Amino acid sequence: MRLLLVEDDSLLGDGIQAGLRQAGFAVDWVQDGRAADAALRAEEFSALVLDLGLPGEPDGMALLAALRRRGLALPVLILTARDTVADKLAGLDGGADDYLVKPFDLDELAARLRALIRRSHGRQAALLAHAGVTLDPAARRVRVDGQAVELSQREFALLEALLENSGRVLARSQLERLIYGWNEEPESNAIEVHIHHLRRKLGSELIRTVRGVGYTIGATP
């Protein structure tokens, strides 16, 4: 799942990016509102982590208002040093889905993001499941018929993306964008390699190839 992080403080931004990557997210990081706006126009993200105190124009609240005006529905989590109830109300009523006050816990940030993304896909259950395969995004565990299976980070992300979009066919380029951040350029056949590994570990039935289009879990040909 790919996130956009907007945080002007370099140490904090670097830390959040590293921490969320450890939690299995693909994270793109920008340091001001203008760059965030450009990124949101160019790419598709599963969620936005937004610092309110941004330098220059637009600041966090203005950016949020603008993207909601444009009809962007992605989940937005505000990350800020302002902790008064009034600030929280302004943030949530301004279009944010969640609010976290600095300093925060990385695990909590990751959990909240998972919950936000889950709800944005209309799911209530924390687990992703299909045909005997269950994926626990929080514990980063995959089981096949109750048996734990070891997956690499990319394999896990790929499976998560396919399960998240089960019933839909995802193109290779779409999958690349979903599991790789900007400065993680994948090899040209990386997706094929990961799919191959997943099929070996989970059985060849689960992920189907749709010729000339991409891959899917659960879509009928």
Structure token digits, residue 73: 């529905």
* For another protein, the closer CB: 7 or 160: 7
* For another protein, the closer CB: 18 or 38: 18
The residues of the shown chain that bind another protein, judged by CB under 8 A, are 8-12, 14-16, 18-19, 22, 31-32, 53, 55-56, 81-82, 101-107
| CB contact at 8 A, 8 and 32 | yes
- Please give the order of strands across the beta sheet that includes 26-30: 26-30, 2-6, 47-51, 76-80, 98-101
Q: Classify residue 102 by its DSSP letter.
A: S
Q: How far is the CB of 53 from another protein (least distance, A)?
A: 8
| CB contact at 8 A, 6 and 36 | yes
User: What span, in angstroms and rounded, lies between the C-alpha atoms of 84 and 62?
Assistant: 19
Q: How far is the CB of 71 from another protein (least distance, A)?
A: 30
User: Nearest to residue 48, comparing CAs of 56, 57, 39?
Assistant: 39
* For another protein, the closer CB: 136 or 205: 136
Q: How far is the CB of 39 from another protein (least distance, A)?
A: 16
Q: How far is the CB of 16 from another protein (least distance, A)?
A: 6
The DSSP line for 19-81 is HHHHTT-EEEEESSHHHHHHHHHHS--SEEEEES--SSSS-HHHHHHHHHHTT----EEEEES
Q: Classify residue 134 by its DSSP letter.
A: E
* For another protein, the closer CB: 32 or 164: 32
Cβ neighbours of 46 (radius 10 Å): 21
| CB contact at 8 A, 147 and 141 | no
Q: How far is the CB of 106 from another protein (least distance, A)?
A: 4
Q: How far is the CB of 7 from another protein (least distance, A)?
A: 9
* For another protein, the closer CB: 102 or 130: 102
* For another protein, the closer CB: 101 or 115: 101
